[in-house]
Amino acid sequence: MGTESPKQRLYAQLARIAGAMASPQRLELVEILAQGERSVAALAEVVRLPIANVSHHLQVLRDVGLVIGHKQGLFVHYRLADPEVFDLHRKLATVGRQRLTEVDSIVQRYFEGRDGLEPVGRAELLRRVRDGSVIVLDVRPPEEYAAGHVPGAVSMPLESLEAGLIHLPKGKPVVAYCRGPYCVMAFEAVLRLRERGRDARRLEEGFPEWRAEGMPVAVGAGPAAGSSSPRVRPGRGGRTTSPEADKRRATRRKARARPQAKGPR
């Protein structure tokens, strides 16, 4: 019989989760999956790793219940098991910046130092979206936009920005956002827009943080960049999504997956 106390056994299991997160590659995979479900091949392309390596990292995350995988045709797709997984990722970044000087130095030098203007906060952006006083650009890949975006945002991936710029109304401020506070696509989009004389700023964080804070979310393919009046397409069934709805759906999925208790044999 083992001598470990229940508390020690508990902490041993929690340490498995900490160990699964103790990899820069796996932290990046969690960030990408916070945007929406992706195939292994698509994830490998984004993080620029061999498919075999990505599959291994995903299996580590799956073994501790942080991600869920399922086969769709010939491909295996993964998603975060629960919104709390991204909360854990986000809290790790927050504590890291507060407690590690090197983290704070990197953020200030390579991220905040790239932009001399204060970014737009979530509440301000929502107000300006509702009164129509701003153009919102989602510069992530189209599949991430379709999985969830800021209502009213126009999908304009960074590589399409030059061509799509001519369709944006002149004289109206632009706010760009991407995957999170350390995603360089929004910084690059703002730089290019300003070089062309546009009044451009970036969202303070990114889409996953927007959703995690309970802000309204739209899903599905959006309007083309050249649309004269962008139209928000709500989520499936005409609904927008929210962290609370995501958690309810996750709870239902867990209940369906939980094996039924068997009676005595």
As annotated, the active-site residues are 178
Strands (E), 142-216: 154-155, 174-177, 200-202
- Report the C-alpha gap between 107 and 110 in whole angstroms: 6
Q: What is the DSSP string of 207-256?
A: HHHHHHTT--BB-S----TT-SS-----BGGGB-B-HHHHHHHHHHHHHH
Sign of CA dihedral 207, 208, 209, 211: positive
> Of 208, 199, 206, 24, which Cα lies nearest the Cα of 111?
206
Cβ contact 32:40 at 8 Å: no
What is the Rg, in whole angstroms, of the alpha carbon atoms belonging to the chain?
Answer: 20
Alpha carbon distance, N-terminus to C-terminus of the chain: 27
Residue type, 38: R
Nearest C-alpha neighbor of 57 from the set 35, 27, 83: 27
